[in-house]
Amino acid sequence: MKTYSPKKAEIVRDWYVVDAEGLTLGRMATEIARILRGKHKPTFAPHMDMGDHVIVINASKIVLTSNKAERKLIHTHSGYPGGLTSRTYADSMARRPADTVRKSITGMLPKNRLGRQMATKLKVYAGPTHPHQAQSPKTLEIPGARREVKV
């Protein structure tokens, strides 16, 4: 018996929209990375891009648990000597919330050409609107992700 390998014409891609308001960043990011990779499909093949498109809205209203927003740091390096800069997640979320969420999701994808191709199917928006209504995306409920409502 041969191992089944899906053909490119057999790949069906769906569109999903995730409302990130009140969701925990890490729990949401792992589930979205799983959808982008295609691991939720029975025809998953690790050498092919089998994943679906994911739209994340309300990225500015995401939650980090246990005071991580003030304590956890994001490091970037320019490539030059002494070019290391650090900022907290709270600063990064205040400046560019969509980029912060995108970076945490793409960090869970493979670090190669295939991972970069999967990352192109991720669309992140800081606000509640997105320009992808024509694709008629389905709402994706993330299991295990707690919605923390601030009162």
pLDDT tens-digit profile of 92-144? Answer: 999 999 999 999 999 999 999 999 999 999 999 999 999 999 999 999 998 76
> In this structure, is residue 146 part of a structural domain?
no
Per-residue pLDDT at 146: 66
Task: Report the number of distinct structural domains present in the chain.
Answer: 1
* 108 to 6, 33, 138: CA distances (angstroms): 24, 6, 23
> In this structure, is residue 29 part of a structural domain?
yes
Domain range enclosing 95: 14-139
Per-residue pLDDT at 1: 82
> In this structure, is residue 3 part of a structural domain?
no
**Judging by DSSP bridges, how do beta strands 15-19 and 84-88 pair with one another?**
unpaired
> In this structure, is residue 31 part of a structural domain?
yes
Q: Which CATH number belongs to the domain containing residue 51 in this structure?
A: 3.90.1180.10
> In this structure, is residue 131 part of a structural domain?
yes
> In this structure, is residue 144 part of a structural domain?
no
Per-residue pLDDT at 148: 66
Q: Judge whether residue 52 has pLDDT over 90.
A: yes
Q: Judge whether residue 147 has pLDDT over 80.
A: no
> In this structure, is residue 28 part of a structural domain?
yes
List all residues 6 or more positions away from 86 whose beta carbon is below 8 Å from its beta carbon.
73, 74, 75, 76
> In this structure, is residue 2 part of a structural domain?
no
